[in-house]
Amino acid sequence: MDFLTLIQLLDSTVRLATPLLLACLAGLFSERAGIFDIGLEGKMLAAAFFSAAVAAVTGSVWLGLLAGIAASLLLSALHGIASITFRGNQLISGVAINFLASGLTVLIAQSWFQQGGRTPSLMGGGRFTPITLPFADAVADVPFLGPIYAELISGHSILVYIAFAAVPLTWFVLFRTRFGLRLRAVGENPAAVDTAGVSVVGLRYAAVAICGVLCGIAGAYLSTALQAGFVKDMSAGRGYIALAALIFAKWRPWYALYATLLFGLFGALETRPDVITALTGMRMQGQLLGALPYIMTVIILAGFVGRANPPRAGGEPYVKER
Amino acid sequence: MDVMPKWAEVILVPLISLILAAIISALVILAIGEDPIAAVKLMVSGALGSTYGWGYTLYYATNFMFTGLAVAVAFHARLFNIGGEGQAALGGLGVALACLYIPWPHWSLALLGAIVMAGIFGAIWAAIPAYLQARRGSHIVITTIMFNFIAASLLNYILVNVLRPRGSMDPATARFPEGTHLPTLHDVLAPFGISFSKAAPANITLLIAVLACVLVWALIWRTRLGYELRAYGHSESAAKYAGISPFKITMITMIISGALAGLMAINNVMGEAERLVLNAVEGAGFIGIAVALMGRSHPFGVFIAAILFGFLYQGGAELALWTSIPRELIVVIQALVILFTGALDNMVRMPLERMFLAARRARAPKPERKPVEPAE
């Protein structure tokens, strides 16, 4: 495998890791506040559809992004009502949200565009286009560092840079602000937060809302940057892989970055069977390669996580003492 | 003491949840520019208006009984098995192997063999996540989801590379031999003088599904294992204190659950398609979640809910055929049922409880407030 192939592989790793990273950070906010969310998948899917649909109709990808975030926020609100206000089972609520998104997107897509549950292909201003960072063309010929800067770091859409910037931002918000401290506390011991006179319900809704915004960006990235338009069930299990990455990362932002990059690499390898053949000397069947990210997830979760300490109050609704 | 009488708990709460789901579904149909009343009429006539419609409704219901029971059994031990889809797919593989490679002399023997193989294959696919949860601490919800994806890839691989007959382009096995064909409801009912549609896929597996409902009921409420399983579901620490091994219960529950999901394959693979095709499960594993929630994890409730979803499935197919409403409407209805009967359960329950509490207070006499006779 030569250097250029490696750069290409890493380049597509970054592309595929971006939606996972955004969804993983989304789950991080939610689960750190004690709200399990397996509805990441559904929120991404809904956001993917609405951003593609609005971008297709208006021709503006930014309006599309807003619509995607709004759709994702709506589902987040539903999850909040079910699991915070009515203290329902958070896993079941997440499952319901996933099916709701999976069914409604096709239903609405068919009703609006009559193209068999997809949106029209996005063109021009309807997509997030790659950004060429300054001097990328100038340094492209420099050996080693040139291609890394020009091919790997430059030339992604703005959402990729937003996703990577979200990692230090998440770390800062969670570990260096008062809001973050309270948010983590509400996931560990909500009764203590309540005693301190801070609203448990308010904090949890805030966390779920942040989760909605990040999932919205992730979904918009899928349909307006990674691909050009929405197709049925295009999130393809990414929400679940993001959840697995979250566990692998032990609910920490920087580890989330590494975990999602690893899963992104699995995804990138899936599209390059020639690289695997070159590396291992074996020919892999395409169908089995498709299962690679999932198999790796199971192996990682089973063996390498070590002691993963989830937020202690995760999944449990908070009932105020009377 | 429970706030609500038993009938309200068992009938009223699910009914109100269902009505709420139905109202929102109607609004969705309105929003995409169709007439909900006409849609319901079409669904009823398509699914229940003929023995042909009934044959499809009961065929789907049979699938959902198995997957619903699978989820329900796991719920009793407070395990959430989302892997019914993958377990049923693997069950299909077991059925295909049993039917293709063993020369069965009679369908009844083939059925027994297929039941064993479907159960074992489904159980294995559930046992791995169960083991990983019990021994390695990986969350069963995540692993069963992953196993759904892995099962889909595995079946794709096996169908394309191993079981596909030479010269065929279709990723499917060869047709099963004549000796494994199960009698349809038409064949079963004909001796009793009842004429049932010949073309409908409902078959003798329906009786096995009903039997499975009875057996699961007996298991959960009439055996020591069932007691341990429920005890574990209510309180893990109390169960541990009583000497119940969490590892054992997790494994056994998931093995039973996976076997039940796997058994679905005798209906769709052996009974209907008579060969194993790609994506044979068609989401029935997920519908099991809705069925179990609506049936309150009780086998009889699962039976009723499965028939309701069978009706929705067949009715939805008719809708997709005659109107511009796509089949995905069923996924939306399924999501709404899961939402209202599962996640938003308290939204329905809390006001009802308040109502019953108020009614009881109004009826009961209040002894401490007795007017005191003034002394003369």
Buried b (16+ CB within 10 A) or exposed e, B343-365: bbbbbbbeebbeebeeeeeeeee
**Pairwise CA distance, residues B350 & B4, whole Å:** 10
Option in A102, A243, A303 nearest B142 (CB): A243
Distance from CA of B77 to the nearest CA of A (A): 15
Distance from CA of B328 to the nearest CA of A (A): 5
Backbone angles phi, psi at B171, to 5 degrees: -75, 75
Option in B153, B325, B335 nearest A100 (CB): B335
Chain B residues touching residue A88 (CB < 8 angstroms): 342-347
Backbone angles phi, psi at B78, to 5 degrees: 50, 40
Q: What Å distances lie between residue B230 and B222, B226, B250, B289, CA to CA?
A: 11, 6, 11, 18
The residue among B81, B161, B331 with the most chain A CBs within 10 A of its CB, best to mutate, is B331
The residue among A78, A79, A294 with the most chain B CBs within 10 A of its CB, best to mutate, is A294
- Asked whether the predicted pLDDT for residue B355 surpasses 80, the reply is yes
Domain segments of chain A: what residues? 3-126+141-236
Backbone angles phi, psi at A316, to 5 degrees: -105, 125
Option in B137, B143, B343 nearest A92 (CB): B343
The residue among A93, A99, A292 with the most chain B CBs within 10 A of its CB, best to mutate, is A99
Chain B residues touching residue A107 (CB < 8 angstroms): 28, 32, 325-326, 328-329, 332
Q: How many residues does chain B have?
A: 376
Q: Which of B126, B153, B151, B150 shows the shortest CA–CA distance to B140?
A: B126
- Other Cβ atoms less than 10 A from the Cβ of B274: the count is 17
Chain A residues touching residue B138 (CB < 8 angstroms): 247, 298, 301-302, 305
Which structure tokens are listed for A218?
Answer: 């992730």
- Asked whether the predicted pLDDT for residue B93 surpasses 90, the reply is yes
Distance from CA of B212 to the nearest CA of A (A): 25
Which residues, other chains included, contact B214 with Cβ-Cβ below 8 Å and sequence gap of 6+? B299
pLDDT value at residue A169: 97
Q: Decide if B334 and A302 are in contact by the 8 Å CB cutoff.
A: no
The separation between CA B35 and the C-alpha centre of its own chain, rounded to angstroms, equals 29
Q: Which of B233, B268, B257, B200 shows the shortest CA–CA distance to B67?
A: B257
| H or E element in which residue A6 lies | helix A3-32
Q: What Å distances lie between residue B363 and A120, B126, B356, B357, B359, CA to CA?
A: 63, 51, 11, 10, 6
Q: Are B219 and B256 in contact (CB under 8 A)?
A: yes
Domain segments of chain B: what residues? 61-201+218-293
Q: Decide if B332 and A302 are in contact by the 8 Å CB cutoff.
A: no
Chain B residues touching residue A46 (CB < 8 angstroms): none
Residue B138 touches partner A, C-beta closer than 8 Å: yes
pLDDT value at residue A69: 97
Question: Where do we find the tokens 């989760």?
Answer: A211
Option in A99, A291, A305 nearest B334 (CB): A99
Q: Are A28 and A239 in contact (CB under 8 A)?
A: no
Question: Where do we find the tokens 């044979």?
Answer: B280
Q: Are B182 and B204 in contact (CB under 8 A)?
A: yes
Residue B204 touches partner A, C-beta closer than 8 Å: no
Question: Where do we find the tokens 């918009």?
Answer: A220
Option in B160, B332, B346 nearest A88 (CB): B346
Which residues, other chains included, contact A16 with Cβ-Cβ below 8 Å and sequence gap of 6+? A226, A264, A267, A268
The residue among B162, B319, B328 with the most chain A CBs within 10 A of its CB, best to mutate, is B328
- Residue in chain B lying closest to A248 (CA): B138
**Pairwise CA distance, residues B376 & B373, whole Å:** 9
**Pairwise CA distance, residues B280 & B118, whole Å:** 14
Interface of B with A in 272-291 (CB under 8 A): 286, 289
Which structure tokens are listed for A169?
Answer: 């931002």
Q: Are A119 and A108 in contact (CB under 8 A)?
A: no
Residue B82 touches partner A, C-beta closer than 8 Å: yes
Kindly report, residue by residue over B234-292, the tens digit of the pLDDT.
988 999 999 999 999 999 999 999 999 999 999 999 988 889 998 888 889 999 999 99
pLDDT value at residue B2: 67
Residue B264 touches partner A, C-beta closer than 8 Å: no
Q: Decide if A108 and B156 are in contact by the 8 Å CB cutoff.
A: no
ipTM confidence: 0.90
Distance from CA of A283 to the nearest CA of B (A): 14
Q: Decide if B153 and A243 are in contact by the 8 Å CB cutoff.
A: no
Q: How confident is the model at residue B166 (pLDDT cuts 50, 70, 90)?
A: confident
Q: How many residues does chain A have?
A: 322
The partner residues of B277 in beta bridges, in order of sequence, read B172
- Residue in chain A lying closest to B351 (CA): A86
Q: Which of B215, B241, B201, B213 shows the shortest CA–CA distance to B51?
A: B201
Q: Which of A207, A202, A276 shows the shortest CA–CA distance to A32?
A: A207
Q: Decide if A240 and B146 are in contact by the 8 Å CB cutoff.
A: yes
The separation between CA A61 and the C-alpha centre of its own chain, rounded to angstroms, equals 19
Chain B residues touching residue A38 (CB < 8 angstroms): 141, 145
pLDDT value at residue B1: 45
The partner residues of A131 in beta bridges, in order of sequence, read A156
- Other Cβ atoms less than 10 A from the Cβ of B265: the count is 35
Q: Can you give chain B as a three-state secondary structure string?
A: CCCCCHHHHHHHHHHHHHHHHHHHHHHHHHHCCCCHHHHHHHHHHHHHCCHHHHHHHHHHHHHHHHHHHHHHHHHHCCCCCCCHHHHHHHHHHHHHHHHHHCCCCCHHHHHHHHHHHHHHHHHHHHHHHHHHHHHHCCCHHHHHHHHHHHHHHHHHHHHHHHHCCCCCCCCECCCCCHHHCCCEHHHHHHHHCCCCCCCCCCECHHHHHHHHHHHHHHHHHHCHHHHHHHHHHHCHHHHHHCCCCHHHHHHHHHHHHHHHHHHHHHHHHHHHHCCCECCCCCCHHHHHHHHHHHCCCCHHHHHHHHHHHHHHHHHHHHHHHHCCCCCHHHHHHHHHHHHHHHHCHHHHHHHHHHHHHHHHHHHCCCHHHCCCCCCC
| Top-confidence residue, A94 or B9 | A94
Distance from CA of A142 to the nearest CA of B (A): 43
pLDDT value at residue A286: 65
**Pairwise CA distance, residues B200 & B196, whole Å:** 8
pLDDT tens series, chain A, 322 aa: 678 888 888 999 999 999 999 999 999 999 999 999 999 999 999 999 999 999 999 999 999 999 999 999 999 999 999 999 998 889 899 999 999 999 999 999 998 998 888 888 888 778 888 888 877 777 777 777 777 777 788 888 899 999 999 999 999 999 999 999 999 999 999 999 999 999 999 999 999 999 999 999 999 999 999 999 999 989 888 998 898 889 888 899 999 999 999 889 888 887 777 777 777 766 666 667 777 778 877 887 887 666 667 788 887 888 876 5
Buried b (16+ CB within 10 A) or exposed e, B75-102: bbbebbbbbbbbbbbbbbbbbbbbbbee
- Residue in chain A lying closest to B320 (CA): A107
3-class secondary structure, A131: strand
The partner residues of B172 in beta bridges, in order of sequence, read B277
Chain A residues touching residue B149 (CB < 8 angstroms): 237, 240, 291, 294
Distance from CA of B339 to the nearest CA of A (A): 5
Q: What integer best gives the mean pLDDT of chain B?
A: 89
Q: What Å distances lie between residue B335 and A316, A319, B108, B286, B316, CA to CA?
A: 22, 27, 38, 10, 15
Which structure tokens are listed for A48?
Answer: 């993917």
Option in A89, A107, A285 nearest B326 (CB): A107
Which structure tokens are listed for B56?
Answer: 């499809």
Q: Output DSSP code: residue A272.
A: -
Q: Are B256 and B248 in contact (CB under 8 A)?
A: no
**Pairwise CA distance, residues A198 & A186, whole Å:** 9
Q: Which of B128, B88, B21 shows the shortest CA–CA distance to B288?
A: B88
The residue among A74, A75, A106, A107 with the most chain B CBs within 10 A of its CB, best to mutate, is A107
Q: Which of B74, B95, B92 shows the shortest CA–CA distance to B151?
A: B92
Distance from CA of A248 to the nearest CA of B (A): 10
